[in-house]
Amino acid sequence: MSNENRFWENTPFDELNPKQWEQICDGCAQCCAHKLQDDETDEIFLTNIVCQHLDMKKCQCSVYGNRHVHVPDCIKITPENANRLNWIPDTCGYRLLANGKPLPEWHPLVTGEQESTHLSNMSVTGKVISETDIDIDELEDYLVEDDYFSRLCSSIGAQD
Ligand code: SF4
Ligand code: SF4
């Protein structure tokens, strides 16, 4: 891809158009995994349980257009909050760009391949359970390490 087409490197983060903004998402769906927060320390813990609206086969939200109707507290990343959301993964394209970092080598925009996030094992595919398949009151039983989703990253590109 020519440099002029690498819009994410040449356009200020808060001036991306809606189509460009959507393309920054790598489709990992890691933000659809439930987290637990310690009441006293505010520390956030990751689980391998995902929202019921995640299409597990496609690794896509099945209600994306009106997801906030179904899940009012579903993430809404904006140029203003992208560098403050400490519970989204370090590899999230929005978080990286908001902090002045490059997109990783495995990002679909960099590879030109829509499937490269999955092929590099950075998505939640095959690593999660739907919230409908567990007793949600027992979420604590499904805590995983912070790097759970990226640990198996393959050779397409290492994490930044
Ligand atoms: S964590 Fe970021 S890159 Fe991954 S699906 Fe969510 S918004 Fe997209
Ligand atoms: S509503 Fe969609 S985008 Fe929001 S957490 Fe659920 S699956 Fe993810």
What are the pLDDT digits (tens) for 27-57?
Answer: 999 999 999 999 999 999 999 999 999 999 9
User: Which token pair is 104?
Assistant: 């990783």
Candidates 62, 55, 37, 61; CA nearest to 47 is 37
Residue of minimum CA distance from atom 5 in ligand 1: 29
User: Is residue 124 lining ligand 2, measured as CB closer than 6 Å?
Assistant: no
What whole-number distance in Å separates Cα of residue 8 and Cα of residue 95?
A: 13
> Which atom of ligand 2 is the closest one to the Cα of 75?
4
> Which atom of ligand 1 is the closest one to the Cα of 95?
2
User: Which token pair is 108?
Assistant: 């679909």
**Global pTM value:** 0.90
What are the pLDDT digits (tens) for 105-152?
Answer: 999 999 999 999 999 999 999 999 999 999 999 999 999 998 898 875
Q: What is the largest CA-CA distance in the chain?
A: 50
User: Is residue 28 lining ligand 2, measured as CB closer than 6 Å?
Assistant: no
User: Is residue 29 lining ligand 1, measured as CB closer than 6 Å?
Assistant: yes
% of residues, the chain, pLDDT over 90: 86
Candidates 115, 97, 114, 113; CA nearest to 8 is 97
The confidence score (pLDDT) of residue 1 equals 61
Look at the chain and count its residues: 160
